[in-house]
Structure 1
Amino acid sequence: MMALMLFSLVARAEEVDLRLRGLDGELKDNTQVYLDQLPAIEVEQFPRFRQQITTAVTDSLQALGYYNPEIELVQSEQNPARVTVRVTPGEPVRIRTLNVQLQGDAETDPAFAELQSNFAIRQGQVLHHDNYEKAKASLLSLALRRGYFDAAYRTSRVRVTPWEKAADVDLSFDSGPRYRFGELKVDTDRPVERLLNPLVQIEPGEPYHASRLAEFSRSLSSTRYFKQVEVLPMVAEADEQYRVPLSVVLRARADNEVEVGVGVSTDEGPRTSVNWEKPWINSLGHSLTTSLKVSAPSQDVTLVYKIPRGHPLEDYYTIQGGYQRLDQDDTVSDRLVAGVHRWNIQQNGWTRDVFLRSEYESYTQGEQEDESFLLIPGVSFSRTRVRGGLDPHWGDAQTATLELSEPWWGSDTRFVRFWGRSKWLRTLTEDHRLLARAEQGAVWVDNVEELPPSLRFFTGGDTTVRGYSYQSITPLDENGDRLGAKYATALSLEYDYRFAPKWRVATFVDSGTATNDYRDDWKVGTGFGLRWLTPVGPVRLDLAFAVTEEDTPWRLHFTLGPEL
């Protein structure tokens, strides 16, 4: 008897399993969501929940424009807990008339005409209530972005006639007046007038647009003078001419900031860096950055003093100086550098650097011991375009430098030197990417040994020809010591496949040469690698084989940092 009672209790507690039939795609998915939101239904409660189940199915279909469904609930005789929900959706309701009326200043605003031409709902479409709400929201969103702060709907109505399979949509949108930019109200802890004036591209009385504020805020943040930037419209303080004052709150960064970093690469091994920055020296926007980088083969200290000339992001000077010690393979070099650079960032994204640099270098290259003093004017152009943030799906980067030296202005050597590189990244399909790189260097000089090692060309290593050690591809002297060359070319093609959200595998082929006459053999490295996407950029580990060498030696390459 006790067992029978327990069995009866279990049976009564068994929950109904609703099985949906007759729907596909979006209709099925939406209806299942509505059914899943119903409370648990015990078998004995099913008769009382019939109407609630039917209502849930009806509501899910009406949301997608189906107002005439046929719904049948069939309870299995063999298993009462199994209930089949059979649905025939019927013909959808379509938008018979769509009446959108604009009032206020938006009536003559071309942006609203463009939005209406691409409206989320159209006459003849199935009445999808989510699209209807998106269409309404798009008008309000555009109005707020363009300064119609009093905008509101006077009418927003949908009349559905299910037996006619038709819906009539009426929207009456009153934008009110368009507000305009007013005066700036600046709250700052430093004198910023000289810096702020070139950055302000907003004139009082111009029509309001949120994107102009966002651009202004980004420019202020990008100067790196401020730790806090807030640019907000004070709509409540608008005057009778609908001019909105702009509140600008700026708080300067600390007087001194120090950043310590560590890293590792196959070319250099472990390395550490220390950056000391004084982002704000005076009211003119001068700043100073000092960096120290130390690895086993190289020690480098650099000072950069920045002087804005006009727009602090687009037009400025830098005075640079530094010392580098290099002791790697057949090169030992002590190098002192000082220079003046004029930077200009153009609207098309290109950065131009016109410079005059002086260099003193004392060096040993193989068996050659020498020193040189050079005064080098030159120009450099660079541009980087990336889409996709830390894990880009599209991008390219170009850089090119032309520099020269002449004895008649005090240099030890006459030469003209060019170096350029271009990288491309393209996504073929969602998980497949191609990366390509081309690099070319050339120096026109009577004898390459007249140049210090820093101006000769070498190739090979993590970022040029994998499978070879750093700068190992170069002409050799009779003792097998590296000399450096007049020309260098490096090419690379890589294919990546993403097999997990943060992981990719890669295969690649690199080729390059450093030569004085292009009669030397080209070196080829190929292999495969692993890519791990981290918050600080991709980590790359490659196993590369130098296929043009005897016995095909292999080499591991490890790098951290952006791909472009």
Structure 2
Amino acid sequence: MTRSCWRIFFFIFCVCGLSLGTSFAQTIERRATTLQVEYSGVDGELAKNVDSYLELLDYNGKPTPASFRLRFLARRGETSIKNALKPFGYYHSEVSHEIIHSENVTRVSYQINPGPRTQIGTLNITIQGSMQDDPVFQNLRKQFPLATGQPFIHADYERTKNMLRNLAAERGYYDARFERQNVRVELTEQAAHIDLVYASGERYKFGDVEMCCNHLSDDFIARYFQFSQGQPFHTRELLDLQVALAGSDYFETVEVAPIWDQASNAQVPVSVRLTPNKRDYYQVGPGYGTDTGARLTLAFDRRWVNDRGHRLSSVLRLSQVQNTGFVDYIIPGKDPTRDQYSITGEIMDRSYESIESTLYRTSVRDIRHYDEWQRTYELAYQREDFRFGAVDKTTSSFLIPSAEFSLVRSEMDAENRNLVDNGFRVSAKLKGASDTVLADTSFIALTLSGKAVYTLSPRWRFLARSEIGAMTTSDFSQIPPSLRFFAGGDHSVRGYAYQQLGPENSEGVVTGGRYLGVLSAEFDYLVAPKWRVALFTDVGNSGMEWSMPWRQTLGAGVRWLSPIGPVRLDVAQAVDEPGRPWRIHLTIGPDL
């Protein structure tokens, strides 16, 4: 080869090398760019599904893949987007993309046209077997999300099938299955044809109950059962039984379940496994409240006295304001989850703000629960020695029948069952006595009270509270402090001490009144996941006449949303008594 040929060859080699080097440098530079993926044409649920289907989004904001890898993923992304739209009925979508290179960013942009939406053309849902005559199924059929002429959405189709399966499992159609579950999509018609045939079989009934480790009488435990052998099966009955037994406090663990592998002749036996709780429970608890001061609580419970489920509860509470001891003997009713009777003995000794009182009280109660309602009938006999200030002690005795009705309705926080999002509580109590039946004087007293919590926004809540009381009597001087109306304190008019508001005698001692009125309004704001701040105003007083002067206070507080309920620290001051110092209030417990 001549020298000139070598020169030409060398020149061509250098040019090619320079070209390849430039191309390689550009490739390296492209690899160093950041990938940005974007799309347009869909939003909402469609966009969320595209996000979950589009593989290329895994590289978004990261170094750009190699060119051949990028082109492959970008093309495959068109198919992925089309598949993401199909579950919403879009079978005729059009997707295109372009790759745009810049100095620091490589952008992949998709243009999406969902196209026409496929509708449900024909819909056949057929039930075979006993379930077709079940009235609950007839109601359920009206709730199916599928209907002719509506968009064909895969999630609605699956939800319809799950609704049938859940109903069958809940109501004892153990052999239920789909004979046909077909969907045919006609692209040319833009229509989906659905054919579902569900064979429910026969509905099972409750069989024998196999119970283990019950330390109480079988007759007593049988009163918790809301079903019997031969009745149609329903899982709700088993769940209610488990909740009732677990809440009775007789058992440490409760397991209630159907034994499907032993089912025969369309009957399924039920297994109930119980572990006894500790029979005796002791509690010692120090505490502090701004109404009571320092306090100590000693408690003893015998969770069952005999095999009929009778219980004994006793508490001794010692505080700076009053000392209380009571014993409560509880007898379950015919339905232990709703009914109970109790016999109570109580002694209360109080010395506070120049008021001295010693109360001896015994009572019998009949308590019934009706879902959200509770009703209590009580017959109590009490004797109370009392005096206000330096006057001589007075002794009064009363036989007092009473009736109380309460309604509670609430929506609890999903993460803490002791926190209320929305709800209210209202109650009314009527009691009285006659001087012709073991009473020193006649009286009738009515108390109405209510609380409400309303969530205004994710952070704001409004809380309201009210209490109204009235009494008529032939001799008010014989009415002891425990039956009179007082206002002031943590749960009344904040800014005043416990029972500081009411009529006064010549010594300036608050003696309580015949009438009571308390109103409270509060706004609180969530400043952190477990903390709220509050602004509030309270108005109220007690008096001998309804025309009594009302006292108003203003205050602010902090709430810690603890696992046992809100812990409230409030500071309040009287509006119409500016010279009165601010008062601190500390309370713990649910809003209702």
Under a length normalisation based on structure 2, what TM-score does the superposition of the two structures give?
0.88
**In 2: Cα distance, 1:66 partner to 1:502 partner:** 45
Letter of the structure 2 residue corresponding to residue 488 of structure 1: L
**3-state DSSP class of the match of 1:460?**
coil
Aligned: 1:219 with 2:259? no
Letter of the structure 1 residue corresponding to residue 347 of structure 2: Y
**In 1: Cα distance, 2:141 partner to 2:442 partner:** 65
Structure 1 stretch 321-330 or stretch 282-291: which is displaced more?
321-330
Q: Is the 8 A contact 1:14 1:42 kept in 2?
A: no
User: 1:435 — aligned with what?
Assistant: 463
User: 2:8 — aligned with what?
Assistant: none
User: 1:365 — aligned with what?
Assistant: 388
Q: Is the 8 A contact 1:543 1:557 kept in 2?
A: yes
How far residue 432 of structure 1 moved from its aligned partner, in angstroms, is: 4.2
Map 1:340-489; keep pairs closer than 5 Å: 340-346=364-370, 349-359=373-383, 361-383=384-406, 384-388=408-412, 389-489=417-517
Aligned: 1:74 with 2:98? yes
**In 2: Cα distance, 1:136 partner to 1:519 partner:** 66
The one of 508, 515, 520 aligned to 1:492: 520
User: 1:28 — aligned with what?
Assistant: 47
**In 2: Cα distance, 1:87 partner to 1:271 partner:** 70
User: 2:560 — aligned with what?
Assistant: 532
How far residue 356 of structure 1 moved from its aligned partner, in angstroms, is: 2.4
Structure 1 stretch 495-504 or stretch 201-210: which is displaced more?
495-504
How far residue 347 of structure 1 moved from its aligned partner, in angstroms, is: 5.6
The one of 234, 237, 258 aligned to 1:209: 234
Map 1:104-115; keep pairs closer than 5 Å: 104-115=129-140
For this pair of structures, how many residues does the alignment match? 562
**In 1: Cα distance, 2:146 partner to 2:204 partner:** 28
* Deviations, residues 210-262 of structure 1 (Å, cap 9, x unaligned): 1122222222223222222222111221222x011111122221111123445
Under a length normalisation based on structure 1, what TM-score does the superposition of the two structures give?
0.92
**In 2: Cα distance, 1:75 partner to 1:530 partner:** 56
User: Cα–Cα, structure 1 residues 77 and 269, in superposed 2: closer, same or farther, change >3 Å?
Assistant: same
Letter of the structure 2 residue corresponding to residue 376 of structure 1: L
Letter of the structure 2 residue corresponding to residue 245 of structure 1: P
User: 1:152 — aligned with what?
Assistant: 177
User: Cα–Cα, structure 1 residues 67 and 362, in superposed 2: closer, same or farther, change >3 Å?
Assistant: same
User: Cα–Cα, structure 1 residues 230 and 400, in superposed 2: closer, same or farther, change >3 Å?
Assistant: same
Letter of the structure 2 residue corresponding to residue 494 of structure 1: E
Which structure 2 residue ranges, 5 or more long, are not aligned?
Answer: 1-17
Q: Is the 8 A contact 1:43 1:81 kept in 2?
A: no
* Deviations, residues 297-351 of structure 1 (Å, cap 9, x unaligned): 2222221111224222333321111222322222233333222223233466222
Structure 1 stretch 406-415 or stretch 244-253: which is displaced more?
406-415
Structure 1 stretch 89-98 or stretch 35-44: which is displaced more?
35-44
How far residue 173 of structure 1 moved from its aligned partner, in angstroms, is: 0.9
Letter of the structure 2 residue corresponding to residue 549 of structure 1: E
**3-state DSSP class of the match of 2:167?**
helix
How far residue 38 of structure 1 moved from its aligned partner, in angstroms, is: 5.8
User: 1:265 — aligned with what?
Assistant: 289
CA RMSD after TM alignment:
2.7
User: 1:248 — aligned with what?
Assistant: 272
User: 1:294 — aligned with what?
Assistant: 318
How far residue 545 of structure 1 moved from its aligned partner, in angstroms, is: 2.8
How far residue 276 of structure 1 moved from its aligned partner, in angstroms, is: 1.7
Q: Is the 8 A contact 2:179 2:199 kept in 1?
A: yes
Letter of the structure 2 residue corresponding to residue 472 of structure 1: Q
User: 2:144 — aligned with what?
Assistant: 119
The one of 12, 19, 29 aligned to 2:31: 12
**3-state DSSP class of the match of 1:303?**
strand
How far residue 406 of structure 1 moved from its aligned partner, in angstroms, is: 4.2
**In 2: Cα distance, 1:36 partner to 1:552 partner:** 69
Q: Is the 8 A contact 2:462 2:524 kept in 1?
A: yes
User: 2:15 — aligned with what?
Assistant: none
* Deviations, residues 504-528 of structure 1 (Å, cap 9, x unaligned): 4433332112111234311112333
Q: Is the 8 A contact 2:359 2:382 kept in 1?
A: no
User: 1:232 — aligned with what?
Assistant: 257
**In 1: Cα distance, 2:439 partner to 2:142 partner:** 66
User: Cα–Cα, structure 1 residues 273 and 61, in superposed 2: closer, same or farther, change >3 Å?
Assistant: same
User: 1:190 — aligned with what?
Assistant: 215
Q: Is the 8 A contact 2:363 2:378 kept in 1?
A: no
**3-state DSSP class of the match of 1:191?**
coil
Q: Is the 8 A contact 1:366 1:482 kept in 2?
A: no
User: 2:12 — aligned with what?
Assistant: none
Letter of the structure 2 residue corresponding to residue 537 of structure 1: G
Aligned: 1:102 with 2:131? no
**3-state DSSP class of the match of 1:512?**
strand
User: Cα–Cα, structure 1 residues 204 and 527, in superposed 2: closer, same or farther, change >3 Å?
Assistant: same
Q: Is the 8 A contact 2:128 2:198 kept in 1?
A: yes
User: Cα–Cα, structure 1 residues 302 and 26, in superposed 2: closer, same or farther, change >3 Å?
Assistant: same
How far residue 400 of structure 1 moved from its aligned partner, in angstroms, is: 3.0
User: 1:514 — aligned with what?
Assistant: 542
**In 2: Cα distance, 1:262 partner to 1:533 partner:** 21
Letter of the structure 1 residue corresponding to residue 48 of structure 2: D
**In 1: Cα distance, 2:397 partner to 2:47 partner:** 76
**In 2: Cα distance, 1:323 partner to 1:7 partner:** 93
**In 2: Cα distance, 1:161 partner to 1:328 partner:** 85
Which structure 1 residue ranges, 5 or more long, are not aligned?
Answer: none
Q: Is the 8 A contact 2:329 2:344 kept in 1?
A: yes
**In 1: Cα distance, 2:136 partner to 2:340 partner:** 37
Letter of the structure 1 residue corresponding to residue 544 of structure 2: N
* Deviations, residues 74-100 of structure 1 (Å, cap 9, x unaligned): 111335621111111111111111111
